[in-house]
Amino acid sequence: VLSCLAKNNPASNCSEASSERMSGTGDAFTNRGNDIISYIISVGVIDKLRTYFSAVRGPVDGNKNSADFLLHSLGLLIAMTKFMSKRNVNVFDTKRPEDPTQLIYTFEVTELVGIVSLLYGMLLHSGAPSRSMDSVPRELAVQPVSIILAGLRMLNHMAVLDLQMLQRTLGEEGLSLEFRHIASYLIWYCSHVTAEELLHEVVLCVGYFSVLHLDNQVIIQSGQPPTVLQQLCALPFQYFSDPRLVAVLFPTLICC
**For the chain, domain boundaries:** 2-255
Interatomic CA distance for residues 90 and 87, integer angstroms: 9
Q: Are 44 and 52 in contact (CB under 8 A)?
A: no
Give the pTM. Answer: 0.90
pLDDT bucket at 62, cuts 50 / 70 / 90: confident
Interatomic CA distance for residues 192 and 189, integer angstroms: 6
- pLDDT tens per residue, range 140-152: 999 999 999 999 9
CA dihedral 198, 204, 208, 212 (to 10 degrees): 150
Nearest Cα to 93, choosing from 183, 160, 181, 184?
A: 160
pLDDT bucket at 16, cuts 50 / 70 / 90: very low
